[in-house]
Every structure is written in structure tokens, then in C-alpha cells.
Chains A and B, each alone.
Chain A
Amino acid sequence: DSGVTQTPKHLITATGQRVTLRCSPRSGDLSVYWYQQSLDQGLQFLIQYYNGEERAKGNILERFSAQQFPDLHSELNLSSLELGDSALYFCASSVGGAGELFFGEGSRLTVL
């Protein structure tokens, strides 16, 4: 158990819908990262927050947004969902902005 908690573990929804994925970092970690892994692909960096502030952005679509709350948990919002958004979405946390990453078990999103 890495200490990073992600909910929900599985989610099935329809095209055009909106979903929210939630992540609680390890106790004491200030940074949260979001990654997307499509089927049989590598991990694509989406976005990173440090202590509530956005610090780095990767290949995140405009239909996606995220935030980190004062209690340090983070949410990734995916809207106007398309079939191609089906993927495993991982959250990771670290103590600082560039330290060792620990991953949650992921949220598997299926868009039908």
C-alpha cells in the first residue's frame, strides 16, 4: 500500500458526460501529480500541484481540469467525454516538487 488513495477505482460512463476523479496523497506529501495511461501505452503526464498551486502542465486537454484543495487532496475533472478518454488515470504524490513519486492504484475510466 503506497498510502495514496484514489476513488473511484472503476467508472463507466457515456460520451458527453462529465466525471470527477479524486486523490488523497500520502500523509505529509505536498505534491500531487496526475497521469493518464491509455491501453497498452506509457504514462502521460497531465498536471502537477504543489501545496495548492499548479506547478507544471503536460499534455492535458482543455476539457480536463484539476485542482488541489487546502487539505491537499486533488480532483481531476474530465468533461465532454469521448471514447478516446477511456484510460487508467493515476495520481501520485511526493513530499516536495521533484522527489520520489508514490502512485495510487488508479481509476479505470471506460467511456461507452
Chain B
Amino acid sequence: GIQVEQSPPDLILQEGANSTLRCNFSDSVNNLQWFHQNPWGQLINLFYIPSGTKQNGRLSATTVATERYSLLYISSSQTTDSGVYFCAVNTGGFKTIFGAGTRLFVKA
């Protein structure tokens, strides 16, 4: 089955810093999503981005489907950005597979 790798596994930032999270996948995908799991466990949809670039406030994402990767950019990070960021992909079947996540801690 498809392999989804996220990097880095852990990231510590000072408030105000920028960061880039990466998601590599081993096969062609029909869709790709980025989620943020907050410290209370809630999974929040960030982007649905099978290809191209999208922006939402301080966050933006780019998926290059032909090269099998996606990037999530966080600018001017805030303490509320802390949590785990997951990439999830679907190859056209009925399974959506998650990467292991990037755990982000933003220090005040």
C-alpha cells in the first residue's frame, strides 16, 4: 500500500517563527488533506489540496502531485499552533491513509 512520510517528526519554535512541514507519499494520490490535532485531541481540517497551492491566513499549503510531496507553511507561529499536524492521502480507493504526523510546540 501507499507509504506516507512526514518530516520533521518533532519541531520546537519560538513564537513568531516560520516553519515548513513536509509530506512525502509513495504513489499517485487522488486527494490529500492536512489536519491539525490540537492538544485536546480535536482534528481540524486545514487544507484539502490534491494539487496546487492554497492559503488560509498564516497557513498555506502546496502539493506537487507529480513529485509526490506536499508542504505546509506556517508563518508567524503562535502558541495556539501547537499540536500535531497530519497529512492524509487517498489513492482513489476507499482508504485514506495518515502519516505519522509532525509534533509542533511553539514557545511563548
Give residues in A with beta carbon < 8 Å to B.
2, 31, 33, 35, 42-43, 45, 48, 50, 55-56, 58, 88, 90, 92, 97-103, 105-106, 108
List residues of B (57-98) whose CB comes within 8 Å of A's CBs: 86, 88, 90, 92-98
In the complex, which of the residues A48, A99, A105, A108 contacts B31, with contact meaning CB atoms closer than 8 Å?
A99
SS class of chain B's interface: helix, strand, loop or mixed?
strand
Task: Please tell me the number of chain B residues within 8 Å of chain A, measured between CB atoms.
Answer: 22
Provide the bound-state CA to CA distance between A103 and B93, in Å: 19
Could you jot down 17 A-B contacts, CB within 8 Å? A2-B45, A42-B86, A43-B98, A45-B98, A48-B95, A50-B94, A55-B94, A88-B41, A98-B31, A98-B90, A98-B96, A100-B31, A100-B33, A101-B96, A102-B45, A103-B42, A106-B43
Q: How many A-B residue pairs have CB under 8 A?
A: 56
Provide the bound-state CA to CA distance between A75 and B86, in Å: 25
> B97: which A residues are within 8 A, CB to CB?
45
Residue among B35, B94, B99, B101 facing the most chain A CB atoms (10 A cut-off): B94
A9 to chain B, nearest CB (A): 10
B101 to chain A, nearest CB (A): 6
> B42: which A residues are within 8 A, CB to CB?
103, 105-106
Given contacts A42-B100, A42-B101, A56-B93, contact A101 B88 (CB under 8 A): yes
A45 to chain B, nearest CB (A): 6
A42 to B95, Cβ gap below 8 A?
Answer: no
Given contacts A2-B45, A33-B96, A56-B93, contact A98 B101 (CB under 8 A): no
> B33: which A residues are within 8 A, CB to CB?
100-101
Give residues in B with beta carbon < 8 Å to A.
30-31, 33, 35, 41-43, 45, 48, 86, 88, 90, 92-101
A106 to B92, Cβ gap below 8 A?
Answer: no
A48 to B45, Cβ gap below 8 A?
Answer: no
A43 to B86, Cβ gap below 8 A?
Answer: yes
